[in-house]
Amino acid sequence: MKTAIIYGVTGQDGSYLSELLLSKQYTVYGITRRSSLPNTTRINHLLTQKQFHLIQGDVTDFGSIYRLLNEVQPDEVYNLAAQSHVGTSFEQPSLTWNVTGQGCMNILEVIRQMGNRPRFYQASSSEMFGDQYNLDNNREKYQDEKTTFAPQSPYAISKLAAHHSVALYRRSYDLFACGGILFNHESERRGERFVTRKISRYVADLHWATQTGRSIPKLKLGNLAAKRDWGHAEDYVKAMWLMLQYDEPMDFVIATGKTYSVEECVKEAFQCININEYTDYIEIDPELKRPSEVPYLRGLSHKAKRRLDWEPKIDFKGLVKRMVQYDIQSCNRCNKGHGCTK
């Protein structure tokens, strides 16, 4: 039986990864930041399982990482901890760096000093590729493991530093360390500040408002033209696990290979409640536009298919449908069918 440590266990990816590892009979130590009001909503259903242990810790605290890894002696360590909202990274660049960049280096250094070194997974991001749209005037370009990085936000810069740290420690100290360059992956567990979940929750609220004859404020969005390669997080955590089961450590791009605009996401979500004319419900808010925007991202995960036998199972339409249906049902369950806007 294997043992794994997951930093960032309370997030979307951490919850799905925990479920996957537990299904494979792992003992899982999930690490969450010290907080007076810890948010365990996504993992509450796991807290009663004997093989799941929730522990307070912090990737910015080298001492706590050292003590935990040497006490648990895990087979695998997954670093999903980050300040993961791109917009927030412009407002809090130092915090973003300390958690997202330096945090990864702290874990790598502890592993380097261990006698029995665990395999290490670092959650890298497609945001590291940045503005490929204007980089070489190829406006239908895809990104893979050989694409040049051009980060456009404090978040992307921090992720890129962590990604390069993984390669450095792998090359210099022979660590089994992998970077998963994951493109946008969403789910019904996505945080409500992210645009896909913001859209699905609004559509769910609109659905119930329509049922009761109420009106609700418009949905405020930023750049509708931004295009992303969107997949489902449940598929993507499987790729994380597969990387650490492979014969040799390397980096992989994980993506669907298809790209859709924010406006296409809006359209698909509204169609889930049989509304085709959605423009009257949308308001463009300049305050929601980022200081530096990445207009287009599309990944190519042929390497993951060839070496890991990985490919996504849930397509874009299925993703949006699952998110909207979940939010509609959530509104119903919490007895706010008149408009659940929590």
Joined together, the tokens standing for residue 259 give 């790209």
Chain Cα centroid distance, residue 254? 12
Catalytic residue IDs: 125, 127, 155
**Environment class of residue 16 by beta-carbon count within 10 Å: exposed (0-12), middle (13-18) or buried (19+)?**
buried
Q: Number of helices (H) and strands (E), helices first, in the chain?
A: 12, 13
Cβ-proximal residues to 113 (8 Å cutoff; 6+ apart), any chain: 66
**Environment class of residue 225 by beta-carbon count within 10 Å: exposed (0-12), middle (13-18) or buried (19+)?**
exposed
Give backbone dihedrals phi and psi of 220, rounded to 5 degrees, phi first.
-90, 125
| H helix or E strand, kind and range, residue 23 | helix 12-23
